[in-house]
Structure 1
Amino acid sequence: MKQTVFEANKPDMSVVDASLENSKLSCFWLEDAQPNAPHYAQLDEDILADFAVVGGGYAGLWTAIKLKTEHPDAKVVLLEAKRIGWAASGRNGGFCEASITHGEPNAEARWPDELAQLHRLGVENLDAIEKFLIENDIDADWERTGALEVANEEYQLAYLEGEDPEDAAATDTVLLDTEGVRSRINSPTFLGGMYSARENAIVHPAKLAYGLARHAAKIGVEIYENSRVLDLVTAKSGDAPIRLQLQGASVAADRVALCTNVFPALLKRYRFHTIPVYDYVLMTEPLTDEQLAAIGWEGREGLSDLANQFHYSRLTKENRILWGGYDAVYHAGGKIRRKYEDRAETFNKLASHFFTTFPQLAGLRFTHRWAGVIDSSTRFCAFFGEAFGGRIQYVAGFTGLGVGATHFAADVIVDRFAGRKTERTELNMVKEVPLPFPPEPFAAVGVNMFRWSFDRADRNDGKRNLFLKTMDAVGMGFDS
């Protein structure tokens, strides 16, 4: 097996150790936005509602906003088990991508007949988010900077060369040679790249969650924090309210939207449709003007590479560099545990890869390190479920690209509640439910086999082994 560029060009370990020495295990976004975080009461009584939304992340917030906007006289209640945006919505990399399918290749493999439609809807969705934030004066450090994908290995250049010129032109994509990509972001590992001007925005994740919550409350959504739903009970009668049982309180609602992301589905039929995968992130101290000049990055693009185990990176408003990805760790049993968030092996690996990519930044320190849990599905992107004659709607499985896709998902849920057949609801992507993951211990064996196979492919010119080819053929998958 070949060495990857990150193994062949490792920085001195003293540089890595020094960079992490004073970092703290804390999510930068949540810490940065905490002084201005809104607070909402805990539900401590039984109430009635027209609509109840479970989950105070992006999917739940967008859904509550859209329901209240469409039904201003309805009582819309949002229930969050802890704090608004505390989980994936406040911990992610701060990329808001146009793709609602976890990238064009995933859509092409699964829904080739809908590819152009899915791409158009994705860009329209991103445009709609931007318009909403501007019109409602929501400060979330939003910047429509576009996306830059780079090749770090010779074999990855073939992916760029295989890009259809007509498709590239239609999506405002520019192919870059070595000189072109390094003129945007200067790294000795970058051999070529692809820049898409309209495909991505960067955003402050926690500010976005808090801004959406404030807007929801302003228009009349009742938000309750520290209000975990323990059980969902449906009556035999189709007209009877759906009851959400909490500790010492309950909500009886006509319709319920379940937006619980990686946490166990309240509908048992979907319990095996997602698994929790831990993703790890580092954040640097702010760059000096000299350090920023050394790497360029004047366009402030969202950055990722073309490996199976890929990195993602971006600049913050204060010119810190967020650096994450590569490792995607599933812990046997599918549990979500605080202790899983501190993984020295992964943080050391990320820091090493960072200084391979940007050796000119040796001496830069990481101030924060953290992890977030991704709700991975077997098709890599969100799926939609329903129950009780459509009065219960469910969405999950965003697989790490939910910042933009949650807005699209909320539109689907609102359409379905209204009984509308729209372009969105009639997509095969929306109507099809993916295969579930197998139960333990098979899930752990399978996921670790995927990780091993992706690592082998990245060391073998991207060539997929028999296991990956077989999984491609049956429609099962895992993505880092």
Structure 2
Amino acid sequence: MSSQPGTRALAQAARSVFWLDDPGRPEALPALAGRVEADLVVVGGGYAGLWTALRAVERDPGRSVVVLEAGVCGQEASGRNGGFASASLTHGFANGLARWPAELATLDRLGAQNLRDLGETVARHGIDCHWEETGELSVASAPHQLAELEERAGAMTAAGHEVALLDRTAVRERLDSTTYVGGLADPHGTALVEPARLAWGLRRACLELGVRIFEGTRALALGDAGAAVVVTTPAGSVRGAQVALATNAFPSLLRRLRLMTVPVYDHVLMSEPLSAVQLASIGWAGREGVGDCANLFHYFRLTRDDRILWGGYDAVYHYGSRIARELEQSDRTHALLAAQFFEAFPQLEGLGFTHRWGGVIDTCTRFTAFFGTARGGRVAYGLGYTGLGVAATRFGADVVLDLLGGEETERTSLEMVRRRPLPFPPEPVRYAGVQLTRWSLERADRHDGRRNLWLRGLDAAGLGFDS
């Protein structure tokens, strides 16, 4: 199909993040000036850092906590994503089954409880993020993908998940697109949120519970001061008994973690609101979050005012792990996404996009978060959420706090927590390997899922690249 409908639809799209372009956005907080002290210093004000701060004071109301954020809380990945809050802690059931089959029942139980607790937190603090327990629909656009879904459905059912395999007719009753030949409905594993509003609500909850948050305050280095750790900033410092690092895609203050993740740019479009007629033309009465099953995949959802968020596919890594504002816009990728949108939903031709943006995600070689400590257990970290951190960061916050407390818990006994993934190689091998992997994944999508020698080698080593 011609890309012309997509090109026309992008003509009026603002080069900004829809979720952040919100009149309810809070005012920025002052930067740190001078020296302060705290029991716990959290570096990073996205989901991972905010959940760590909030859970710290919920678990120990007397604990003094300081959060340092280089920009504004929630302005990076936490405010730019699709808003899929997944119960999975393992980047999906299949990845968990492949990596930790003996622990998967425990991981699934902990993940389901974590999602319930997240919803309870949203309700208790009155966070207006349009929490919708919609479930998720995984859709197949090729017969080999449907076969993979059938295998997954059997494994998930055997593990106690209530899922339903859908044929072409059944999936079109839920979402009317000729692109999809079948699907898998998981009604309990996903809630949808407005991501920036969730971050802002967590920020407000932290402030109300006495957490001190300094925005516009970049953490520069870690230093020792007796039994304490000092985090230096451009205009001051924080002396803390413990430090939690939550910078994710951005360079860690622990140099040894620099090769453990790579920053990947994900790009997104937001449509104008659909009319009642347009919405009826595609069905979607269940409002599920949707993801397709290709290696280079799309994810999409409805908003509270019936816009369609459409993102994914073209995960982009830049040489040298480069991160820059100008990389958030890509004429090529946004045009490609727009063309693919109208291939999936030709009945929506004439619909325009109001916003186009991108954001950087931290991906690791096993696709799931990993954890650890440094400086004699006084510093702990969790990173590598690989695009599935909306809910998993809450679980990760408790893991980090357990590690800082030296506690042996069900969480810290998990192999997922005890073992770290293999690092990415240094440049230029890193860039070449990522590009070869992306090329191979795209090729597999075009050849009935057949994985070439490179991908089979990565599979054997338990390695991968994803967004």
Shared fold per TM-score greater than 0.5: yes
For residue 384 of structure 2, what is the amino acid of its counterpart? Answer: G
Partner of 1:107: 96
3-state DSSP of counterpart to 2:342: helix
For residue 178 of structure 1, what is the amino acid of its counterpart? Answer: R
Q: Please state if 1:264 is matched with 2:264.
A: no
3-state DSSP of counterpart to 2:439: helix
Partner of 1:416: 403
Preserved contact between residue 38 and residue 214 of structure 1 (Cα < 8 Å) = no
Q: Please state if 1:49 is matched with 2:29.
A: no
1:166: how far off?
6.5
1:13: how far off?
3.0
Q: Partners in 1 of 2:208 and 2:15 — Cα distance?
A: 34
1:164: how far off?
4.9
Partner of 1:206: 196
Q: Partners in 2 of 1:411 and 1:30 — Cα distance?
A: 27
Q: Partners in 1 of 2:27 and 2:134 — Cα distance?
A: 28
1:17: how far off?
1.5
Partner of 1:196: 186
Ranges in structure 1 where 5+ consecutive residues have no aligned partner = 1-9
1:155 to 144, 151, 155: 144
For residue 273 of structure 1, what is the amino acid of its counterpart? Answer: M
For residue 223 of structure 2, what is the amino acid of its counterpart? Answer: V
Partner of 2:55: 66
3-state DSSP of counterpart to 1:364: coil
2:268 to 277, 281, 288: 281
Distance 1:63-1:308 versus aligned 2 partners, 3 A rule: same
Preserved contact between residue 6 and residue 341 of structure 2 (Cα < 8 Å) = no
For residue 101 of structure 2, what is the amino acid of its counterpart? Answer: P
Distance 1:29-1:405 versus aligned 2 partners, 3 A rule: same
Preserved contact between residue 230 and residue 238 of structure 2 (Cα < 8 Å) = yes
Q: Partners in 1 of 2:311 and 2:413 — Cα distance?
A: 35
- The equivalences for 1:5-20 within 5 A come to 10=1, 12-20=2-10
Partner of 1:379: 366
- The equivalences for 1:267-346 within 5 A come to 267-346=254-333
3-state DSSP of counterpart to 1:201: strand
Preserved contact between residue 38 and residue 210 of structure 1 (Cα < 8 Å) = no
1:163: how far off?
3.2
For residue 69 of structure 2, what is the amino acid of its counterpart? Answer: E
- The equivalences for 1:459-470 within 5 A come to 459-470=446-457
Q: Partners in 1 of 2:463 and 2:151 — Cα distance?
A: 25
Deviation per CA, 1:178-201, whole angstroms, max 9, x where unpaired?
111111111011111000011101
Deviation per CA, 1:102-157, whole angstroms, max 9, x where unpaired?
11111112111111211111111111101111122111111010000001112211
Q: Partners in 2 of 1:212 and 1:275 — Cα distance?
A: 27
Name segments (4+ residues, structure 1) moved above 6 Å: none
Identity %: 51
1:160: how far off?
2.2
For residue 67 of structure 2, what is the amino acid of its counterpart? Answer: L
For residue 463 of structure 1, what is the amino acid of its counterpart? Answer: R
For residue 441 of structure 2, what is the amino acid of its counterpart? Answer: F
Q: Partners in 2 of 1:76 and 1:295 — Cα distance?
A: 48
3-state DSSP of counterpart to 1:162: helix
Q: Please state if 1:394 is matched with 2:381.
A: yes
RMSD value, Cα: 1.2
1:355 to 334, 342, 349: 342
Preserved contact between residue 153 and residue 165 of structure 2 (Cα < 8 Å) = no
Q: Partners in 1 of 2:134 and 2:52 — Cα distance?
A: 26
1:36: how far off?
3.5
Partner of 1:216: 206
For residue 205 of structure 1, what is the amino acid of its counterpart? Answer: P
1:407 to 394, 405, 409: 394
TM-score (norm 1): 0.95
TM-score (norm 2): 0.98
For residue 356 of structure 2, what is the amino acid of its counterpart? Answer: R
Count, aligned residues = 466
Partner of 2:107: 118
1:24 to 8, 14, 27: 14
For residue 112 of structure 1, what is the amino acid of its counterpart? Answer: P
Partner of 1:174: 164
3-state DSSP of counterpart to 2:321: coil
Larger mean CA deviation between 87-96 and 100-109 belongs to 100-109
Deviation per CA, 1:270-325, whole angstroms, max 9, x where unpaired?
11101110000000000000000000111110001111001000000010000000
Q: Partners in 1 of 2:165 and 2:157 — Cα distance?
A: 8
Q: Partners in 1 of 2:151 and 2:52 — Cα distance?
A: 39
Q: Partners in 2 of 1:303 and 1:70 — Cα distance?
A: 35
For residue 363 of structure 1, what is the amino acid of its counterpart? Answer: G
Larger mean CA deviation between 311-320 and 342-351 belongs to 342-351
